[in-house]
Each structure stands twice: as structure tokens, then as C-alpha cells.
């Protein structure tokens, strides 16, 4: 029965969120959550006979976003390095993620990549990332920011 199977799948999916509370290693919890999200969406695709959208849109889309989440989590958890440098790398990853998401959507819709909107979104992010990286080397500005922002 569809409703019983969806209820069981939902409970199992929500149960994977307990790994964040139980496991000390955040990266293992994120991988468990990634796999559970992909499997839950696979279940929905199978039950609705929509394997095409799952394989060519949802699977790569979720994978791209979780790579981004893993990289940003690593940058946040990492204590080595200056905050502004880590922020600039995180912003650069944001711009690359936007471009990868558009590529994923275009491949699903048109079977080829036609970059349109992602460069308009990624360009200001990349400029801010570059400026943040350059500012991180100016010790006077960094010290001023620390005093004003209570770093």
C-alpha cells in the first residue's frame, strides 16, 4: 500500500536526523543524511513512476548541494586560517555551486548546457570573494573589523 510505505519511508528518513545528536563526527552525520535524502527521493520517484526526473535532476542536484554543504562545514569547523580567508573560499564555492546547479537543470531540460542566469549570480559572489580575500591580507583593516565586530 502506498500510504503505509510512504509512512515507513518518512519515519526512516526523519530517524536519520538523530545521527546529528548521536554521532560526534559531523561529517559522518552529513554523509548519512545525504544517503538518506537520496534514498527517500528514490522512493518517491519509484512510487510515482518518475525515475527520469530522479536520475537526471534530483540525484545530481542533491549531490551538488551536499558537496557544497560538506565544504562549507569543513571551512566553518576548521580553526586554522583567518576567518576572512575561509569566508572568501566559502563564497567562491557558492558561486561554483550556482553554476553547477544551472548546468544540472539545463542538462535535464535541454540535454545541453546553456549558461544564462548562473553567471549573473556567480559574478558578484566571486567579486565579493576576491575582495574579501584581498582584504584579509591588510592587517590594519582586519584589526579594525575585529574591534568593530567584536571578533
Q: Is the pLDDT of residue 151 over 60?
A: no
Gyration radius from the chain CA atoms = 20
Q: Give the CA count within 13 Å in the CB-facing half-sphere of 73.
A: 13
Exposure pattern of 108-145 as b/e (b: 16+ CB <10 Å)? beeeeeeeeebeeebeebbebbeebbeebeeeeebeee
- The proportion of the chain whose per-residue pLDDT surpasses 90, expressed as a percent, equals 39
Per-residue confidence (pLDDT) for residue 1, from 0 to 100: 59
Q: Which residue has the higher pLDDT, 11 or 90?
A: 90
What gap in Å lies between CA 102 and CA 92, rounded to an integer? 16
Mean pLDDT taken over the chain: 86
Check if the beta carbon of residue 95 is closer than 8 Å to that of residue 130. no
Per-residue confidence (pLDDT) for residue 13, from 0 to 100: 75
When mean pLDDT is compared over 6-10, 46-50, 93-97, the highest value belongs to 93-97
Per-residue confidence (pLDDT) for residue 124, from 0 to 100: 95
Residues 6+ positions from 82 with CB-CB distance below 8 Å: 136, 142
Amino acid at each position: 500500500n502506498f500510504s503505509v510505505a510512504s509512512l515507513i519511508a518518512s519515519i526512516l528518513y526523519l530517524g536519520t536526523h538523530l545521527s546529528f545528536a548521536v554521532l560526534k563526527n559531523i561529517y559522518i552525520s552529513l554523509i548519512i543524511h545525504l544517503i538518506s535524502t537520496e534514498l527517500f527521493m528514490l522512493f518517491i520517484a519509484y512510487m510515482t513512476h518518475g525515475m527520469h526526473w530522479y536520475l537526471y535532476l534530483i540525484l545530481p542536484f542533491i549531490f551538488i548541494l551536499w558537496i557544497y554543504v560538506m565544504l562549507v562545514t569543513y571551512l566553518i569547523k576548521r580553526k586554522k586560517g583567518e576567518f576572512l580567508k575561509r569566508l572568501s573560499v566559502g563564497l567562491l564555492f557558492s558561486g561554483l555551486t550556482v553554476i553547477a546547479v544551472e548546468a544540472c537543470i539545463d542538462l535535464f531540460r535541454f540535454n545541453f548546457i546553456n549558461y544564462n542566469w548562473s553567471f549573473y549570480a556567480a559574478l558578484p559572489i566571486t567579486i565579493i570573494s576576491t575582495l574579501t580575500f584581498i582584504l584579509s591580507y591588510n592587517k590594519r583593516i582586519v584589526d579594525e573589523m575585529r574591534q568593530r565586530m567584536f571578533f
